[in-house]
Amino acid sequence: MSKTTQAPKALRGVGNFIDDRFHAAKMGEKNLRKVFPNHWSFMLGEIALYSFIILLLTGVFLTLWFKPSMIEVVYDGPYERLNGVVMSEAYASTLHIDFAVRGGFLVRQIHHWAALIFVASLVVHMLRVFFTGAFRKPREINWLIGVAIFTLAMLEGLFGYSLPDDLPSGMGVRILQGVMLALPLVGTYISMFLFGGEFPGEDIITRLYMLHVLAIPALLLGLIVAHFMILWHQKHTQYPGPGKTDKTVVGTPMFPGFAVKAGGFFFFTFAVIAGLSAFVQINPIHLFGPFTPTSITSGLQPDWYMGFMEGSLRIFPNWFDFQIFGYAVPIGVLVPGLVIPGIVFGGLGAWPFLEQWITGDKRAHNVADRPRNAPVRTGVGAAGITFYGLLWLAGSNDILSETFSISLYVTTYIFRVLVIVGPFVAYFVAKRICLGLQRRDRESLEHGYESGIIQQLPSGEFIEVHKRNSEETTEVLASKPEITSTALTEPAADDKGVRNPESRKAKGRIRRALAEWYTKDNVSFEGVEPHTGHHLHHSEEAVKEHASH
């Protein structure tokens, strides 16, 4: 007889105690058997989660010694090169963490690297969601939460980068103040309130510290919890394949398979971050010195996620600046500092609803698209990445000028042209690639794949034998949806010849034009039968049949 293994008596007692009061056994068993897809791309969001956990843990450690004060002191510490230099307590306490606290410099490096990887994994995770259409109904709210997390993460990184009060971070705060001052009427008041007087004031570090360690982390934590609760309720999307439908999920149960994998992946993520922190130095503030308003530096760049704003500020011309009623409106700062980020983040948030409005598709989608099967969406995503990347690259136009011995003005004009032309080129190229891949998929689905075997028929004709695809490949190829829009399929007039009033309005005409743009050049798979091995001239069976005669 087989002996049933039971949990230890103490654990059974605790379990029974909880279940008697909350009746959680059935719910717990159901949740422990929840299925997670196995594809590697679903781990990108987990990297962001694990990086955030590391940020919280290392941040708590750093707060024990950091002093968020701009009171000036004369440094007298272990780093002899700065002894006798007047600096803020914030900068002095950061030097103390680096050189006097055991392991302090490593922990600060881990904190900084984790912040960079946190934002990077958020970006890659959101790109995966965007290109596969995983933002569609019923996940629009979770997409908006993700955009909010991304925005807050950038602000959190900017404020944390500014806390040590070293020379590069002080220049970043100066740029932040310049963007504030660009706001008509209220800009000067906002700057005075935030800085506690004229720049740099005496309160900015203290206020940024409160935002960095309390307000924004609390918001991030709340949004991340909400994101995972919605995800847990709605389940993951999954890629096309055998048995995968909008109502069934194929994957690994939460316990024990996924839990073990996720736990190991956390330590792997921590190991990579710790390895980078130990061997790749980042933000060595002791080499830059304290910030003073009269000092400036060159050749230094902000953290990568703020590079696009740096680039937009550098290349946007001041040709459009004007005054109204005696108030200056510096378009050269206002647009790159506020309007362009607003377009980027606003566009991300609005896209799910815009796409739904164009197509009229209000169905629930639990099976993700292959990016090639949504060529317009993929093209728009490629255009956005190109726009962002060119602005990011423009943030180092001074370094590019020096490296390649090109005039700084020439590089500036080059980037001005590229940020306009580049996204259109990227959109066109990405869309054409997607359409080409769709045609190849249709050929493969209908005729199988080329085996590389050349045979001669009794008639003397040479053919290449095509073999049938695997079941999984056939399911993936056949999963391509037809790209349609209700704006194009709805009748323009009723049976009495009266035109639809919505189609006559400007809104209706715009929607129809966008629908034609979205569905144009669609490669239809309608009527295509999967290759079964019985197609003449394309199968081994056909070759054998002809050879037998």
- Locate the domains of the chain by residue range: 38-333
Per-residue pLDDT at 438 = 92
pTM of the full structure: 0.88
Residue 336 and residue 312 in contact, taking contact as beta carbons nearer than 8 Å? yes
Report residues of the chain scoring pLDDT below 50: 1-5, 534-543, 545-547, 549
Cis amide leading into 138 (omega within 30)? yes
Contact 213, 63 (CB under 8 A): yes
* CA-based nearest residue to 56, from 110, 93, 95: 110
Q: For position 26, what pLDDT does the model report?
A: 62
**pLDDT for position 253:** 76
Name the token pair of 502.
Answer: 């919505």
Farthest CA pair distance, the chain? 100
Task: From residue 453, give the alpha-carbon distance in Å to each of 209, 436, 468, 542.
Answer: 68, 25, 14, 13
The pLDDT, as a whole number, for residue 533 is 58
Tokens of 424: 């259109």
Distance, C-alpha 388 to centroid of its chain: 12
pLDDT digits (tens, 9 = 90+) for 486-536: 877 776 665 566 666 666 678 888 988 899 999 888 888 887 888 775 444
Instruction: Classify domain 38-333 at the CATH superfamily level.
Output: Cytochrome Bc1 Complex; Chain C (1.20.810.10)
Closest Cα to residue 85, out of 284, 281, 282, 288? 288
> Of 315, 329, 357, 383, which is closest to residue 502 (Cα–Cα)?
357
Question: What gap in Å lies between CA 26 and CA 16, rounded to an integer?
Answer: 12
Contacts by 266-274, CB closer than 8 A, 24 or more apart? 266/46, 266/50, 266/53, 269/46, 269/47, 269/50, 269/51, 269/54, 269/117, 270/50, 270/54, 272/117, 273/51, 273/54, 273/110, 273/113, 273/114, 273/117, 274/106, 274/110
| DSSP-derived 3-state class of residue 154 | helix
| The predicted structure's pLDDT at residue 194 | 86
Short-list 341, 547, 352, CA closest to 461:
547
H or E element that contains 324: strand 322-324
Q: Which of 414, 388, 390, 392 lies closest to 401 in space, CA to CA? A: 414
pLDDT at 9: 61
Residue 421: predicted pLDDT: 97
pLDDT score for 384: 95
pLDDT in the model for residue 449: 78
